[in-house]
Amino acid sequence: MLAELINPYYLQVGCFILINIILGISVYITLSTGQLSLANAGFMGIGAYTSALLTIHFDLPIIIGIIIGALVAALCGVLIGIPTLRLQGVYLAIVTLGFGEVIRVIFVNWETLTNGSVGISGIPHIGREILKTLQGFGFQPMSIGLQNNQFIFLSIFILLLLITIFVIWFFRRQHQSRVGRAFAAIKLDEKAAESMGINITYYKVLAFAQGALVAGFAGAMYAHILAYISPADFAYHRAVEILIFVVFGGSEVIWGPIFGAFFLTLMPEVLRFISEYRYMIYGLIIIIMMAVRPQGLIDVPLLKALSKKGRKRGQKHGTGNHKSM
């Protein structure tokens, strides 16, 4: 019963949805200080390449590779974040876009290390490693009625789900904390925020580094799930795709990018018959969204309306302790 339900294909799509959610959140974090970063595809690439190369050449465990990959991406985020702080709006967007391009060109040209545009294959697969470890303890997937293949994808999916929930939890907490309020103040009015005693430089670099860390982490996971990466995976189109998740879903609340990534990753899979036109539809969606609802589908008033409805229903059923968003 369980074995028939668990289809590796669905799990794979689920994994991509989760990775895209994490990527969407990475853009949301930087955007919550009013900075638009298009470098997150580059940070993702840095995380992916670092982790892949470390695990292949130095036989490091995957988990250490992923952590180092995310940290290196965060370090690059700080290095890029500090000088670009003096730039605003479109200038920042273009410089981060340029940074992403420079990263891609380096990946393509540093052939001795990155294998050029061919890409790196044979990256240790995270699911297989989990299976191997568990088998070492004498566990067999057959004992819970699963094929090896099913178990591999199921374990990745569950792992990613836990991580995604943790990331969402962490940034929701942060949003309600001192840091989150500082971010919001900077987004509304930088000068006013500064005169209120908020250290703008610190918080902007923090947001930038957090975005880079999360993106680098997502990239490292991506490398160990697909077992193959190439520079084209982290180029301009990826940067725009991540941006679209946030724009479509809404950049005001964390649920926006989550919904955007979920919907837009699932849509092409469901609408296979028009997948040829997928990107044209993407383009149209963006234009229409900007004209009709520039803040994205999910915004604060919508959430308030939803939670009010939920509260009413809650009172009817007598529970009454509905948490507000």
Q: Toward another protein, which CB reaches closer, 142 or 284?
A: 284
Q: Does 294 bind another protein (CB under 8 A)?
A: yes
Q: Does 320 bind another protein (CB under 8 A)?
A: no
Residue 72 and residue 219 in contact, taking contact as beta carbons nearer than 8 Å: no
Residue 55 and residue 124 in contact, taking contact as beta carbons nearer than 8 Å: yes
User: HEC states along the chain?
Assistant: CHHHHCCHHHHHHHHHHHHHHHHHHHHHHHHCCCCCCCCHHHHHHHHHHHHHHHHHHCCCCHHHHHHHHHHHHHHHHHHHHHHHCCCCHHHHHHHHHHHHHHHHHHHHHCHHHHCHHHCEECCCCHHHHHHHHHHHCCCCHHHHCCCHHHHHHHHHHHHHHHHHHHHHHHHHHHHCCHHHHHHHHHHHCHHHHHHCCCCHHHHHHHHHHHHHHHHHHHHHHHHHHHCEECHHHHCHHHHHHHHHHHHHHCCCCCHHHHHHHHHHHHHHHHCHHHHHHHHHHHHHHHHHHHHHCCCCCCCHHHHHHHHHHHHHHHHHHCCCCCCCC
CA dihedral 225, 238, 170, 191 (to 10 degrees): 160
Which of 238, 256, 290 has the alpha carbon at shortest distance from 39? 238
CB of 212 to another protein, least distance (A): 16
Tell me the window of 50-58, 146-154, 240-248, 302-310 that interacts with another protein (CB under 8 A): 240-248
Q: Does 86 bind another protein (CB under 8 A)?
A: yes
Tell me the window of 18-26, 126-134, 207-215, 275-283 that interacts with another protein (CB under 8 A): 275-283
CB of 286 to another protein, least distance (A): 3
Q: Toward another protein, which CB reaches closer, 65 or 81?
A: 81
Q: Toward another protein, which CB reaches closer, 64 or 192?
A: 192
Q: Toward another protein, which CB reaches closer, 158 or 290?
A: 290
Q: Which of residues 178-237 bind another protein (CB under 8 A)?
A: 236
Tell me the window of 58-66, 104-112, 137-145, 201-209 that interacts with another protein (CB under 8 A): 104-112
Angle subtended by helix axes 8-31 and 236-249, to nearest 10: 80
Q: Toward another protein, which CB reaches closer, 59 or 276?
A: 276
Q: Does 301 bind another protein (CB under 8 A)?
A: no
CB of 90 to another protein, least distance (A): 5
Q: Does 64 bind another protein (CB under 8 A)?
A: no
CB of 247 to another protein, least distance (A): 5
Q: Which residue from 6, 67, 106, 227 is in contact with another protein, where contact means CB under 8 A?
A: 106
Q: Which residue from 282, 303, 310, 322 is in contact with another protein, where contact means CB under 8 A?
A: 282
Site string for another protein, 33-62 (x = CB under 8 A): ---x--------------------------
CB of 101 to another protein, least distance (A): 5
Q: Which residue from 6, 95, 161, 184 is in contact with another protein, where contact means CB under 8 A?
A: 95
Interacting residues toward another protein by CB under 8 A? 36, 83-84, 86-91, 93-95, 97-99, 101-102, 105-106, 108-109, 236, 240, 243, 247, 276-277, 279-280, 282-287, 289-292, 294-295
